[in-house]
Amino acid sequence: MAEGDNRSTNLLAAETASLEEQLQGWGEVMLMADKVLRWERAWFPPAIMGVVSFVFLTIYYLDPSVLSGVSCFVMFLCLADYLVPILAPRIFGSNKWTTEQQQRFHEICSNLVKTRRRAMGWWKRLFTLKEEKPKMYFMTMIISLAAVAWVGQQVHNLFLTYLLVTFALLLPGLNQHGIISKYIGMAKREINKLLKQKEKKNE
């Protein structure tokens, strides 16, 4: 058991180190994005919503085709991948890189690796469910996809994407400030109250 834990820890450290090396040119940008996403200042949340709203309003106004939209998005990623490692040190100053910043960069990369592992774990569980309980797998997939298709039919695609992107960008800050855990706790207490009331009625 201990050997398995040590092997997993060593593998996590190796993957984190590899990711740090790959993203070294993006270090300053990632640290700045991390501060914004964790709401280190009070005006960061409205700034996030403002930028996202501006981008989606621009897309709505231009109304590009799917092919044009995908091409522009990939082109933007290619430009960012080329220009950010060149411009970031000049803008932020690589000589200002401190031990604290290096530690935070390591934590970000470690969290990214853990998130990737978690996603792969859910993917493997899905295929395990398919092999062990094929009926449950197909029923779950059909019901889930039908629900998603219904939501997509009821809500405009661009607006739905806007809501999802906004929520995804606000999620780290919501977690950091304990807002999600607060409302989850409130929901659990309300559910427990309802269950207790139901038990009293049955008695």
Q: For residue 2, is it within any domain?
A: yes
Q: For residue 184, is it within any domain?
A: no
User: What does the chain look like in DSSP terms, one character per residue?
Assistant: -HHHHHHHHHHHHHHHHHHHHHTGGGHHHHHHHHHHHTTSSTTHHHHHHHHHHHHHHHHHHH---HHHHHHHHHHHHHHHHHHHHHHHIIIIIGGG--HHHHHHHHHHHHHHHHHHHHHHHHHHHHHHHHHH-HHHHHHHHHHHHHHHHHHHHHS-HHHHHHHHHHHHHHHHHHHHTTHHHHHHHHHHHHHHHHHHHHHHHH-
pLDDT the model gives residue 92: 74
Rounded average pLDDT over 131-149 = 89
Q: For residue 85, is it within any domain?
A: no
Rounded average pLDDT over 99-105 = 86
Lowest-confidence region among 65-69, 113-117, 179-183: 179-183
Rounded average pLDDT over 64-88 = 89
Q: For residue 180, is it within any domain?
A: no
Range of the domain at 119: 1-63+96-156
Q: For residue 86, is it within any domain?
A: no
CA–CA gap between residue 63 and residue 74 (Å, rounded): 17
What domain count does the chain have?
1
Q: For residue 199, is it within any domain?
A: no
More confident residue, 96 or 142: 142
Q: For residue 166, is it within any domain?
A: no
Identify residue 57 by its one-letter amino acid code.
L
pLDDT the model gives residue 168: 92
Q: For residue 116, is it within any domain?
A: yes
